[in-house]
Amino acid sequence: MFLTNPVCTNKEVLKGICVARAGSMIAVRSLGAGKMSEAQLEFRFEAKRWYHVVLTHSTGSALAPAWVRLFVNGTLEASERFKYPKV
């Protein structure tokens, strides 16, 4: 289930990467060339606290899959396989 952000759910409008947060989930969606890929990464954020949040994406290769990784305050907190968008 992806978050209900209208920008992230309208395939005709967006091509590329869309990121949204709800509760403890960071949802990442790629749209392009009529195909969609999505990943959900979990991290429990505390209210009234600042975080340095970074998402990285590796494109992968014939021998290695593509990944999206979530770093919080410099520490790898979650990762999931994620196809690179073709636009």
Q: Where are the domains of the chain?
A: 6-81
Q: Locate tokens 């919080």: which residue?
A: 72
Cα separation, 17 vs 19, in Å, equals: 7
Residue 6 has pLDDT above 70, yes or no: no
Cα separation, 41 vs 87, in Å, equals: 23
pLDDT, residue 4, reads: 53
Each residue of 57-81: pLDDT tens digit?
887 777 778 889 999 999 999 999 9
Query: Which phi and psi (to 5°) does residue 4 adopt?
Result: -90, 30
pTM as predicted: 0.75
pLDDT, residue 48, reads: 92
